């Protein structure tokens, strides 16, 4: 049963992450590395993190074909996510092969051509959208890849002013530009244009320094970048920078910084998604379900929610893959 309260809708992709198992070796010739299949994707990660924190959350996703599809649905259900927003699609499930660098940062290889995730139609979204939406979170590949990105943009336009709109670009450069991006119909100009339209409609934007470097190669100082993004439409911008302090910007105000909790990092897969979920869960629990309420919130209130969200992300990083904490684990870590 879904918890009571304003409903968070998360719209985006379902991806199976193939994660390496280093201790298993790679066979006698070193050519047979072993991987474990884990549910992933920006939207699924955000929805699962919010569900584990006790938020009422519905995931709007196109569930593709293949033997791994059932695991994606079950992963969401086990975390309390409402899967009534799933569309059974004829296209295949997306697959990401993940490598983890010495610093714990992920490296991705994608197998997504013709995948289910970015084939949304207006009619499908109308069918799975609940009547009462407190917040809508969109982002990552489905939000800037046609043809589905057009339907997603139209939904954002429709809900703008009635629900809190959250956007996370969550770029994957090889899918946004270059030869691989071209197979999806993407290039830098088109992706930037689609994201610009979403950001202009957003109330909340979470963006990483890595994404910023791709979107604005000459962005320069991150404080100035955060301040500038807060003039583009959002009422709140949260800029992440790995293990460096978070930057929080509001239109016309100073850029605020918050240290992130120090933990023993296993890897950072799903960290940004966990932070977004923690922040959205906190906003909805505080009754902030629209632009006016977000603008009226004090810096102190928002910083407390950002601190909580940063702890959610930090706890995720102590485990393999996207594995966000439960509400009980978050409470214990405080």
**Could you list the residue range(s) of the whole structural domain that residue 176 is in?**
8-333
Could you tell me what percentage of the chain is helix, strand and coil, using 3-state DSSP and rounding each to the nearest 5?
Answer: 40, 20, 35
Asked, for residue 2, whether it belongs to a domain, the answer is no
Reading the block at residue 15, the tokens are 């991806």
Predicted pLDDT of residue 150: 98
Does residue 2 surpass a pLDDT of 60? no
Q: Please give the Cα distance from 66 to 72 (Å, whole number).
A: 11
Asked, for residue 91, whether it belongs to a domain, the answer is yes
Predicted pLDDT of residue 320: 81
209: nearest Cα among 224, 189, 187? 224
Tell me the C-alpha to C-alpha distance, in Å, between residue 181 and each of 62, 172, 174. 20, 9, 6
Asked, for residue 60, whether it belongs to a domain, the answer is yes
Asked, for residue 3, whether it belongs to a domain, the answer is no
Q: What is the mean pLDDT of residues 98-111?
A: 74
10 Å CB burial of residue 221 (0-12, 13-18, 19+) is exposed
Does residue 110 surpass a pLDDT of 60? yes
Asked, for residue 258, whether it belongs to a domain, the answer is yes
Asked, for residue 1, whether it belongs to a domain, the answer is no
Q: Please give the Cα distance from 47 to 116 (Å, whole number).
A: 18
Does residue 293 surpass a pLDDT of 70? yes
Does residue 193 surpass a pLDDT of 60? yes
Predicted pLDDT of residue 4: 63
More confident residue, 184 or 108: 184
Does residue 107 surpass a pLDDT of 90? no
Can you spell out the DSSP letters for 192-220?
A: HHHHHHHHHH-SEEEEEHHHHHHH-TT--
SS3 152: helix
Q: pLDDT-based confidence at 311, cuts 50/70/90?
A: very high
Asked, for residue 152, whether it belongs to a domain, the answer is yes
164: nearest Cα among 199, 204, 127? 204
pTM of the model: 0.93
4-62: pLDDT as tens digits: 678 999 999 999 988 888 888 888 998 998 999 999 999 999 999 999 999 999 999 99
Residue 199 belongs to domain with CATH number: 3.40.1190.20
254-264: pLDDT as tens digits: 999 999 999 98
Q: pLDDT-based confidence at 106, cuts 50/70/90?
A: low
The Cβ-side half-sphere exposure at 239, using a 13 Å CA radius, reads 24
Asked, for residue 234, whether it belongs to a domain, the answer is yes
Q: pLDDT-based confidence at 104, cuts 50/70/90?
A: low
Count of structural domains, the chain: 1
Does residue 155 surpass a pLDDT of 70? yes
160-169: pLDDT as tens digits: 999 999 999 9
Does residue 269 surpass a pLDDT of 90? no
């Amino acid at each position: 049963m879904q918890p009571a309260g304003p409903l968070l809708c998360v719209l985006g992709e379902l991806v199976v992450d193939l994660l390496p198992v280093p201790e298993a070796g790679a066979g006698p010739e070193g050519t047979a590395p072993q991987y474990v299949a884990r549910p992933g994707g920006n939207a699924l990660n955000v929805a699962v993190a919010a569900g584990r924190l006790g938020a009422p959350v519905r995931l709007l996703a196109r569930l593709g074909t293949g033997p791994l599809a059932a695991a994606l649905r079950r992963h969401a259900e086990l975390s309390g996510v409402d899967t009534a927003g799933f569309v059974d699609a004829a296209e295949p499930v997306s697959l990401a092969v993940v490598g983890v660098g010495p610093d714990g940062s992920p490296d991705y290889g994608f197998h997504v051509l013709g995948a289910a995730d970015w084939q949304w139609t207006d009619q499908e979204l109308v069918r799975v959208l609940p009547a009462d939406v407190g917040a809508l979170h969109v982002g990552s590949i489905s939000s800037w890849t046609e043809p589905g990105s057009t339907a997603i943009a139209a939904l954002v336009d429709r809900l703008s002013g009635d629900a809190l709109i959250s956007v996370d670009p969550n770029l994957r450069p090889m899918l946004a530009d270059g030869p691989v991006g071209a197979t999806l119909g993407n290039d830098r100009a088109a992706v930037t244009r689609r994201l610009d339209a979403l950001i202009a409609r957003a109330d909340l934007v979470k963006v990483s320094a890595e994404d910023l470097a791709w979107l604005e190669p000459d962005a320069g100082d991150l404080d100035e970048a955060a301040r500038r993004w807060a003039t583009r439409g959002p009422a709140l911008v949260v800029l992440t920078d790995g293990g460096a302090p978070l930057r929080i910007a509001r239109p016309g105000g100073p850029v605020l910084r918050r240290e992130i909790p120090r933990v023993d990092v296993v890897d950072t897969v799903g960290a940004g998604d966990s932070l977004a979920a923690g922040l959205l869960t906190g906003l909805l629990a505080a009754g902030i379900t629209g632009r006016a309420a977000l603008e009226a919130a004090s810096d102190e209130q928002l910083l407390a929610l950002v601190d909580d969200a940063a702890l959610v992300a930090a706890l995720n990083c102590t485990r393999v893959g996207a594995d966000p904490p439960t509400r009980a684990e978050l409470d214990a870590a405080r």
